[in-house]
Amino acid sequence: MTADLENLREELRKMAAEIDRLHELRTQRFHLADRAHEAGLTWNEIAILLNMTQNGLIAAQTNMRAKLAAGDTAGTDGIDPSAAPAPQA
C-alpha cells in the first residue's frame, strides 16, 4: 500500500507541474495575441491561428487581463495555495 501511496504522490506532483506549464502557456498566448493584434492582425485571424473561435479568444484575453490586473501572475486563479488543507496522515 505504501508503494501505491508513493505512486499517487508522484502522479500528483507530475500533474501539478503540467498545470503550472498550462498556466505559463496561457500567459504566453495572452501576450502573443495582444502583440499580434497591436501589429495589425485581426482577432479573428489570431483566433484561427490558435485553433480557437474569436469569441473564445476574446473571452480568454479578457479573463487573463483581469487576472493580471488583479496581480494573479502565477495562474492560480486567485487561490492561495497556502490555504489548502493539510494532508491527512
Q: Is residue 83 part of a domain?
A: no
For residue 2, what pLDDT band results from cuts at 50, 70 and 90?
confident
Question: The pTM is what?
Answer: 0.72
Q: Is residue 77 part of a domain?
A: no
Q: Is residue 80 part of a domain?
A: no
Contact present, 34 and 3 (Cβ < 8 Å): no
Chain-centre distance for alpha carbon 78: 12
C-alpha cell at 4: 501505491
Q: Is residue 6 part of a domain?
A: yes
Is the pLDDT at 34 greater than 60? The verdict is: yes
Q: Is residue 7 part of a domain?
A: yes
Q: Give the count of domains, the chain.
A: 1
Q: Is residue 23 part of a domain?
A: yes
Q: Is residue 12 part of a domain?
A: yes
Pairwise CA distance, residues 3 & 73, whole Å = 36
- What's the domain range around 21? 2-71
Looking at the chain, the whole-number percentage of residues with pLDDT higher than 70 is 81
Q: How many CB atoms lie within 10 A of CB 67?
A: 20
